[in-house]
Amino acid sequence: MDKPFSVLFVCLGNTCRSTMSEGIFNHLVKSKGLQDKWRIDSAGIENWHEGKPPDEFTIEMLERNNMLDGYCHTARQITEADFMKFNFILGMDLYNIRCLKRKAPPNYTAKLFFMHFMSLSRHHLKFLKNCMLNVSDAVKDFWRYKLIKFHKQKNRL
């Protein structure tokens, strides 16, 4: 049976931001008992990390926050078929959105959104909007933590 709702998270390489978002969203959907209704995936604009698992920090953060839930992903590049297969495609930054618009085939059906500034119409799922706000905050926290970690390491040198 096809799942009625679907979302694809997209960043540049598909090992950090998009996989973190996918893992968090998977957890939120499962916690509401809606996993049978959602197809959730992530992809990269580029194929640099194709075939690789998510970044170790992503897995560590999901695990630390009890959101791993058996999450398993292999990095992949977005395909033209994704633009027809998913209801929503969420780019992690404006560069991703520009690339997605260039890669999109004519007459694609997915709705493209910038992750941090989504404005879903009332015709879209209220559930997605509420969950995405949580995912957006987690992704911001993820990069804030990475920046702090970088500066601590830099200061050690």
Read off the amino acid at residue 142: F
Structural domain containing residue 93: 5-156
- Assign residue 21 the CATH number of its domain: 3.40.50.2300
Per-residue pLDDT of the chain (157 residues; tens, 9 = 90+): 477 889 999 999 999 889 988 998 898 888 888 899 899 999 999 999 999 999 888 888 888 878 888 889 999 999 999 999 999 999 988 899 999 999 999 999 999 988 754 444 444 445 455 555 555 555 555 555 555 554 454 454 3
The CA-based dihedral angle spanning residues 140, 144, 150, 153, taken in that order and rounded to the nearest 10 degrees: -140
pLDDT of residue 144: 58
Cβ–Cβ under 8 Å, residues 94 and 112: no
pLDDT of residue 124: 46
- Interatomic CA distance for residues 26 and 19, integer angstroms: 10
Q: Coil, strand or helix: which one is 89? A: strand
Count up the domains in the chain and report the number.
Answer: 1
